[in-house]
Amino acid sequence: MGESDDVFDEMHGFGEAVRSPYARYSSWFEGATPSALLKKSREARTFFRRTGITFNVYGDVEADERLIPFDLVPRIIGASEWALLVRGIEQRVRAINAFLYDIYHRQEIIRAGRLPEHLIRENDAFLPKMIGFDPPGGIYTHIVGIDLVRTGPNEFFVLEDNARTPSGVSYMLENRETMLKMFPELFAQVPVQRVSGYPMALRRSLERSAPQSSADRPTVAVLTPGIHNSAYFEHAFLADQMGVELVEGHDLRVVDGRVAMRTTQGYEPIDVLYRRVDDDFLDPLNFRPDSMLGVAGIFDVYRAGGITIANAPGTGISDDKAIYSYMPEIVEFYTGQAPLLKNVPTWRCAEPDALAYVLEHLEELVVKEVHGSGGYGMLVGPAASKREIAAFRRKLTAKPANYIAQPTLALSTVPILTKAGLSPRHVDLRPFVLVSPDGVDVTPGGLTRVAMKKGSLVVNSSQGGGTKDTWVLKEG
């Protein structure tokens, strides 16, 4: 069943036997008829189209919006496997928050010689305007998505940390909703933890992060760049599910030192703004003057303690792939413990020795832009043509500091449903984490992205990847 003997398949391990998390699902699957499952697969596609679950592909004139392929075979994680992950995720998220507090205050990690100063000073994502400011409750990263890959039974690696505006949680929720509609009998047989409480958990977490001056029931709103944004469906979905207003920049203004939104009763103050707008566009008075997406003066209200912005401006520096390469040191520095979750070994191309190694081994490495995202601006050496490698070599030689490189990991596989039956495909996982002054909450599940093409390691939806429902089993 496995793609090859050295790739870990989450249903079959390194051999043919079904692993225990998949035992009940496997016996159910054996009793299902292939034609009925393929029919359900077509029904799911219709459901997604009807619900309007789409994403935009920037620069693609032909298809502004696309459906993300959805596969009916769930990715199943055992309770003890999940407990291991949760401990590692909590440790990492706390360390990221402590790191952000430090670099905007005393910068002890730089003074201690554990992180080069230029990585902060010359980083576009570092916001000097945040220096010396304490965000409400001391929280910078209210919502985090940690991208994980698996290479063995208990071998997990963090691929990247998404602390700016992590997306994809709507797919986690809609994937589950679809599976519950399609296979209610399956959920009666397999003890799967619920994910449907996420929107209310998000709202509670945001309310608890409100400024001290807020009322007993703080007012929360979601700020979207608007209908043309690639994740607009998610912005509208989350606002609706939380029971809060979805607003755009033109709906907001500063009134009497507070950020207020336009309502039928006039302007009503907001305590917490879950923004899905990048830092640069947040406030035309303080950042990009040409921004039509933000609110003039919101940053001044924020600095004065009049509103919570989630995630805090300036958190993006912890997403940076050069900073990522120092995460083991960062975790140890702020927690006093060794990291529970490993980093993927990383060569920083800004360093001459690393660059020399990377240029020599391009055919076997994955090379990524330091500020890149969504699978753009990267080279997957083993899958690239000689021409692509030669072109990338020129880019890398011209601006080495823009890139990091990593080995090609043997990503685990999970079966997908094909006309010929089950066939393994590579996957990653983005668990979603909520952080408030009350603590860290990891939703039992996450977004499993799957490379729909056989042998492909690229799981991004913008590059043809699909999604699966992620099941975390209950204890016992």
Contact 293, 249 (CB under 8 A): yes
What pLDDT, on the 0 to 100 scale, is given for residue 45? Answer: 85
State the amino acid at position 123 in one-letter form: N
Contact 452, 69 (CB under 8 A): yes
Contact 210, 136 (CB under 8 A): yes
State the amino acid at position 428 in one-letter form: D
**Is the previous residue joined to 162 through a cis bond, with omega within 30 degrees of 0?**
no
What pLDDT, on the 0 to 100 scale, is given for residue 2? Answer: 42
Alpha helices by DSSP H, listed for 286-424, are 298-303, 321-324, 327-335, 352-360, 386-398
Helices and strands (DSSP H and E) totals, the chain: 14, 23
Asked if the structure places residue 362 within a domain, the reply is yes
Asked if the structure places residue 366 within a domain, the reply is yes
Asked if the structure places residue 82 within a domain, the reply is no
Rounded Cα–Cα distance for residues 4 and 153 (Å): 16
What is the distance in angstroms between the CA of the first residue and the CA of the last residue of the chain? 27
CB atoms within 10 A of CB 26: 15
Length of the chain: 476
Contact 212, 173 (CB under 8 A): no
What pLDDT, on the 0 to 100 scale, is given for residue 383? Answer: 83
Give CA separation, 461 vs 355, 365, 453, 458, 467, in Å.
30, 22, 12, 9, 8
How many domains does the chain divide into? Answer: 1
Asked if the structure places residue 390 within a domain, the reply is yes
Two structure tokens written together for 83: 């407990």
Rounded Cα–Cα distance for residues 142 and 208 (Å): 10
Residue span of the structural domain in which 376 resides: 346-408
Beta pairing partners, 109: none
Rounded Cα–Cα distance for residues 442 and 92 (Å): 12
What pLDDT, on the 0 to 100 scale, is given for residue 61? Answer: 40
CATH assignment at residue 361: 3.30.1490.270
Residue segments in the chain with a per-residue pLDDT below the cut of 50: 1-3, 56-64
Dump strand ranges (E) for 264-369.
Answer: 266-269, 272-275, 308-310, 342-343, 347-348, 365-369
CB atoms within 10 A of CB 108: 14
Rounded Cα–Cα distance for residues 239 and 231 (Å): 13
Asked if the structure places residue 30 within a domain, the reply is no
Contact 91, 81 (CB under 8 A): no
Asked if the structure places residue 51 within a domain, the reply is no
pTM for the predicted model, two decimal places: 0.92
Is 380 in a helix, a strand, or coil?
strand
Contact 198, 166 (CB under 8 A): no
Sequential DSSP letters for 129-150: GGTT---GGG-S-SEEEEEEEE
Angle, alpha carbons 409-413-416 (nearest 5°): 145
State the amino acid at position 214 in one-letter form: S
Asked if the structure places residue 365 within a domain, the reply is yes
Closest CA to 169 of 146, 139, 136: 146
